[in-house]
Amino acid sequence: SPARTALAPRETAVRRKGKARRGRGKVRNEGLLSKQKRSRRMKANDRERNRMHHLNSALDALRSVLPTFPDDAKLTKIETLRFAHNYIWALTQSLRLA
C-alpha cells in the first residue's frame, strides 16, 4: 500500500537507531574501489606465491635426504610426504628392534 511504502524508510531508520553500523564505510567512488580490490588481490597473490616457493623449497630439502631409486627420479609432493612418513616409520621400527 502507498502508506506502507512511505513509512518503510522511517521504520528502517528507527530500527537501526542505536545499533552499530555494519560494514567498512561508504565507498567514495568506483575507481577507488577498483584500485583497492586490485591492490588487495595483487598482495594476496604475492603472499600465495611466496608461500608456495617456501613449500616447494622445503619439499626439495626433504627430497634431498630421502633415499630414492633411481636417484634421478623426482617424487611428486604427495609421494614425497608419503615416502617421508613411511621412511620415518621404518627407521623408528628398526630402532625399537635394536
The structure's pTM equals 0.62
List, for residues 37-95, the tens digit of each pLDDT value. Answer: 999 999 999 999 999 999 999 999 999 999 987 777 889 999 999 999 999 999 999 99
Q: Please determine, for residue 10, whether its predicted confidence score (pLDDT) is greater than 80.
A: no
Q: What is the dihedral of CA 62, 68, 71, 77, to 10 degrees?
A: -50
- Closest by CA position to 24, among listed 4, 7, 40, 3: 40
Joined together, the cell numbers standing for residue 31 give 575507481
- Mean pLDDT within 13-21: 56
Cα(82)–Cα(60) distance, rounded to whole angstroms?
14
Cβ within 8 Å of residue 68, ≥6 positions away: 75, 83
Task: Report all structural domains of the chain as residue ranges with CATH numbers, in order of start.
Answer: 27-97 (4.10.280)
The predicted structure's pLDDT at residue 8: 55
The predicted structure's pLDDT at residue 19: 57
